[in-house]
Structure 1
Amino acid sequence: MKYIYSLLFVTALLTSCGGDKKKSVEDIIASDNIELIRKKKAELDATRQEISAQLKQLETKIKELDPQEKVPLITTFKTSETVFNHFIELQGSVDTKENLVIYPEFSGTLIDVYVKEGQDVTKGQLLAKIDDGGLSQQLAQLEIQRDLAKTTFERQERLWRENIGSEIQYLQTKSSYEAMNRSVDQLKDQVAKTTVRAPFSGTIDDVITEKGSVVGPGQSPLFRIVSLKNMYIETDVPERFITSVTKGKEVIVNFPVLNKEVKTKVRQAGNFINPANRTFKVEVGVDNNDGSIKPNLMAKLKINDYINENAILIPQSIISENAEGEQFVYTITEKSGELAVAKREIIKTGRTQGDYIEVTSGLKSDIEIVDEGARSVKDGQQVKILASL
């Protein structure tokens, strides 16, 4: 269109230069004749006004013949209520409640190791034996003495019931027998410490000390035992979520290395806020039936902190903002076939999830909104709808 206007303007200028008027503007300027120059300018001004009037007539006729020439083309969609689940995204690492290094409770030589690395064991299973330094023989002798004390006490008790003998004899034999029982029990506890047993069912991950080594309580690690059953993930959550991230909230856990995703729940939410980073601890339980999840494995967590059962969601890309900082979108009114009028609606928004945002006020369900082309529309402008979703 601009090309046609320019062509008409040039043609008029050429037509206006006839006879004496055939002199070019450059020639007239070169003559330094002020009257001639003024006369030429007046002629060109008149020609320009005439062409401008003709152009307006042409534009009016074009709009009359094609009223949709400058109507913006848009697409629309209708709002609807949907369930909106908002998630916060965090990172954490896998741990287990049953990952333990076993130390001996008795000093001595490790005389037997009954398991090897990678072996599955059950709770209470014998893992190793430490030389007891003669405690077993002492226990056997003490048990003989206890049996004798028991026999003496039982005989004295029968006599006492038959009113034979003194009360002091009865009490002395009873005290002696009970003292021997306590001594035997104490020695049994000591002997029991010379055997190392599995504290829970799991896998021997590492045999740290070999047979024949001298070991001592709290100084010589013997085995590392790990169970992959009671797994969990621990992560730090910012304090602003302390009222929304609570026990029982839904969690989606993704393990990038395993290309695996599981759904679980918050098992425990801490009550202490770390003053150093203003976070609190959250523990998420993880099922590990196939044993693929290992301790210290990195995980990405999406914790559900907010649910709206009747949310209105719209794409963030269609929202504009005015000079006052208010957000708005365009809705469709006065619809007639493919033509309609765009109306600006001020809205307020809430949480976002991906490319969509929650509208908290300003829109209701089943309202038609401008989608593609929203940035080129003005309030009250006529638009043409290409597609409606």
Structure 2
Amino acid sequence: MKSIARSLIFALALVSTAIMAADALPVIIVKPHPVDLTIPAESVVEAVQQTTVGAQVAGRVLEVRADSGQRVTKGDLLMRIDAREAGEAARAAEAQYKVAKLNYERHQQLKEQKFVSQAAVDKARADFDAAAANRSAAGASQSHASIVAPMTGIVARRHVEAGDMAMPGTPLFTIYQPGSLRVTASIPQHRLPAMRGVSSARVEFPELGKWVDASAIQVLPTVDAATHVAQVRVSLPGLAEAVPGMFARVHFVTGRADKLTVPAGAILRRGEVAAVYVQTADQRLVLRQLRLGEAVGQGEIEVLAGLAAGDKVVTDPVKAAIQVQSGK
């Protein structure tokens, strides 16, 4: 219905006087008022505390006990890997340790009887220390067959299935803490001077229809050499609906000024043409073409030309278009 109505409107090439009595249309009286001047930037939600759990031993995945979206507690068993090779290596290291220990003790006894030199004893001690270290490393590798949660949080993604072959460094799970989220925005380097004095920002979630005030802003000190943009981290207050990877738009507040604005939802657009319905003093509806500026405030667009203070703008253009068409 919206697309049909708007197409009919603009097919008239903005001939300005589609006239009929306005019937209970929502309107606002526009006038200059103080609004926040902002620098908008697209961003992505990410977790402040997030970790990727990787395999540390080679082996086939035998059992999977966690899946995406599941809440886990630190220490919970997530997965078991068949690490029989690591077990055999641990047993071999244990045997070498026992031999090295006996050899070192024997050399100590022979040294007391003056049958071997101190250098031989030192060599036996070095072999014993190396065998002890090898045994500890092999035992640790064997314990890595059981994958446990390193933190309390939510499993964002499980990267492998039961039966897959895991190799050292293979990512297995991505876990994040939902209570601490932020968005990271990219700012062109020519905007950085204006960002130096920024201390507040609002974050818009278009899909959720929500705005939240940022709790902290951090401009990272480097600029990417390839794209010439700087990363800005914006901390979020608690927002249960936000999840890592979600799109958001950050509006960095750089100052305030008096502007004539209209709500973004009141504007009809076709290509580069923008217009709004204006209700006249005699209750007629007139389609008025506008020249727009930048987005300001919260969901408002600056009007550079086409409206004057005191004009009544219809905030529901689809309903206005239906009335206009039905009155012909």
TM-score by length of 1: 0.48
Which shifted more, 83-92 or 121-130?
83-92
Matched residue, 1:303: 252
| Higher RCO (Cα < 8 Å, 6 or more apart) | 2
Pick the aligned partner of 1:261 from 211, 220, 223. 211
Distance in 2, Cα, partners of 1:168 & 1:315: 88
Identify if the C-alpha distance between structure 1 residues 96 and 137 changes in structure 2 by more than 3 Å, giving closer, same or farther: same
Identify if the C-alpha distance between structure 1 residues 231 and 156 changes in structure 2 by more than 3 Å, giving closer, same or farther: same
Provide Cα deviations, 1:221-247, integer angstroms capped at 9, x if missing partner: 543434324422122324332123149
Distance in 1, Cα, partners of 2:237 & 2:108: 60
Provide Cα deviations, 1:321-360, integer angstroms capped at 9, x if missing partner: xxxxxxxxxxxxxxxxxxxxxxxxxxxxxxx87799xxxx
Whether contact under 8 Å (1:244, 1:306) holds in the other structure is no
Letter in 2 for 1:302: H
1:251 aligns with 2:201: yes
Matched residue, 1:190: 141
1:279-358 to structure 2, matched below 5 A, reads 279-288=229-238, 291-306=240-255
Whether contact under 8 Å (1:234, 1:283) holds in the other structure is yes
Pick the aligned partner of 1:209 from 125, 142, 160. 160
Whether contact under 8 Å (1:241, 1:305) holds in the other structure is no
Pairwise CA distance, 1:203: 1.6
Pairwise CA distance, 1:130: 1.6
Identify if the C-alpha distance between structure 1 residues 232 and 156 changes in structure 2 by more than 3 Å, giving closer, same or farther: same
1:363-374 to structure 2, matched below 5 A, reads none
Distance in 2, Cα, partners of 1:203 & 1:109: 24
Distance in 2, Cα, partners of 1:142 & 1:355: 72
Provide Cα deviations, 1:156-202, integer angstroms capped at 9, x if missing partner: 55886898863134213212211211321332343244333334432
Whether contact under 8 Å (1:113, 1:210) holds in the other structure is yes
Pairwise CA distance, 1:99: 5.3
Matched residue, 2:269: none
Pairwise CA distance, 1:293: 1.1
Q: Secondary structure at the match of 1:281?
A: strand
Whether contact under 8 Å (2:198, 2:254) holds in the other structure is no
Whether contact under 8 Å (1:270, 1:282) holds in the other structure is no
- Flag the structure with larger Rg: 1
Matched residue, 1:12: none
Whether contact under 8 Å (1:104, 1:217) holds in the other structure is yes
Matched residue, 1:149: 100
Pairwise CA distance, 1:251: 1.4
Distance in 1, Cα, partners of 2:226 & 2:219: 20
Pairwise CA distance, 1:152: 5.1
Which shifted more, 86-95 or 221-230?
221-230
Whether contact under 8 Å (1:94, 1:295) holds in the other structure is yes
Distance in 1, Cα, partners of 2:260 & 2:156: 51
Percent identity of the aligned residues?
19
Identify if the C-alpha distance between structure 1 residues 124 and 154 changes in structure 2 by more than 3 Å, giving closer, same or farther: farther
Distance in 2, Cα, partners of 1:274 & 1:134: 45
Q: Secondary structure at the match of 1:258?
A: coil
Distance in 2, Cα, partners of 1:259 & 1:133: 53
1:115 aligns with 2:66: yes
Distance in 2, Cα, partners of 1:201 & 1:281: 28
Identify if the C-alpha distance between structure 1 residues 255 and 104 changes in structure 2 by more than 3 Å, giving closer, same or farther: same
Matched residue, 2:191: 241
Matched residue, 1:364: none
Identify if the C-alpha distance between structure 1 residues 145 and 315 changes in structure 2 by more than 3 Å, giving closer, same or farther: closer
Q: Report how many aligned residue pairs link the two structures.
A: 236
Provide Cα deviations, 1:80-136, integer angstroms capped at 9, x if missing partner: xxx996432333221235556644343322122233443322445432222123432
Pairwise CA distance, 1:314: 5.3
Question: Cα RMSD between the aligned structures?
Answer: 4.1
Q: Secondary structure at the match of 2:87?
A: helix
Whether contact under 8 Å (1:111, 1:212) holds in the other structure is yes
Whether contact under 8 Å (1:245, 1:269) holds in the other structure is no
Identify if the C-alpha distance between structure 1 residues 94 and 152 changes in structure 2 by more than 3 Å, giving closer, same or farther: same
Pairwise CA distance, 1:299: 2.1
Matched residue, 2:173: 223
Identify if the C-alpha distance between structure 1 residues 112 and 259 changes in structure 2 by more than 3 Å, giving closer, same or farther: same
Distance in 2, Cα, partners of 1:286 & 1:207: 26
Letter in 2 for 1:181: A
Q: Secondary structure at the match of 1:305?
A: strand
Distance in 2, Cα, partners of 1:182 & 1:107: 21
Letter in 2 for 1:191: Q
Letter in 2 for 1:128: M
